[in-house]
């Protein structure tokens, strides 16, 4: 009987892994924003349910006064646009790092993502008028992003498996 040795598991390249992180973050934020917007539209959620809005407001709240003044002097009426662009660039970099970390250790990437979801949930819940129900969009969006990360990096989560079908238990009693 000839036993086939499993091929070594090779993760995606660094650029592809970074892109995986960006896509996962996009899924998480996109789903959360859609749910928050729809929920607000039908009267289910309050305004704080939007993760990007809540993060932006929290960022402004904790920004030192000298930096706020600098932003207003430098960008004038476009200071909010500059904040949004800065937040977007920061999220893009963090997402790429999550993907690159996931290339080496998917569990750590999922852990980092979970921590970011909890930080965002804290930002949402800290807003005036927020309720526990307002956390639902970020939690569901976060789960969608984590699911994507796990699905892409699944082969690395089960050592020695190159095909997810091979990860299923085999019934050797019928032999």
Task: Tell me 7's DSSP state.
Answer: P
The pLDDT-based confidence of 100 (bands split at 50, 70, 90) is very high
**DSSP of 98-140, one letter per residue?**
HHHHHHH-HHHHHHHHHHHHHHHHHHHHTSTT--GGGGHHHHH
Question: Across all residues in the chain, what is the average pLDDT?
Answer: 84
For the residues 118-126, what does the mean pLDDT come to? 92
Q: What is the pLDDT of residue 164?
A: 47
Q: What's the confidence (pLDDT) of residue 68?
A: 81
**Average pLDDT of the segment spanning 75-88:** 84
Compute the average pLDDT of residues 105-123. 94
Is 147 in contact with 157 (CB distance < 8 Å)? no
What pLDDT is stored for residue 96 in this prediction? 97
- The predicted pLDDT at position 86 comes to 83
Do residues 104 and 21 touch, judged by C-beta distance below 8 A?
no
When pLDDT is averaged across residues 103-115 and rounded to a whole number, the result is: 94
Which pTM was predicted? 0.77
* For range 126-130, the mean pLDDT: 87
Q: 78, 150, 139, 77: which is closest to 110 by C-alpha?
A: 150
- Phi first, then psi: give them for residue 157, nearest 5 degrees: -80, -25
Residue 175 DSSP class:
-
pLDDT at 33: 94
Identify which has the larger pLDDT, 119 or 45: 119
């Amino acid at each position: 009987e000839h036993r086939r040795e499993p091929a070594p598991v090779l993760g995606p390249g660094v650029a592809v892994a970074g892109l995986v992180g960006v896509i996962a973050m996009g899924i998480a934020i996109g789903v959360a924003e859609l749910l928050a917007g729809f929920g607000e539209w039908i009267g289910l959620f309050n305004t704080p349910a939007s993760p990007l809005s809540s993060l932006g407001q929290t960022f402004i709240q904790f920004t030192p006064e000298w930096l706020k003044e600098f932003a207003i002097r430098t960008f004038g009426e476009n200071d909010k646009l500059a904040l949004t662009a800065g937040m977007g660039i920061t999220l893009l970099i963090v997402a790429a790092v999550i993907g690159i970390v996931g290339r080496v250790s998917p569990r750590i990437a999922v852990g980092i993502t979970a921590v970011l979801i909890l930080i965002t949930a804290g930002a949402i819940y800290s807003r005036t008028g927020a309720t526990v129900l307002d956390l639902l969009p970020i939690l569901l969006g976060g789960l969608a992003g984590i699911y994507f990360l796990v699905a892409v990096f699944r082969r690395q989560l089960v050592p020695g498996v190159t095909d997810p079908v091979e990860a299923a238990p085999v019934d050797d009693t019928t032999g």
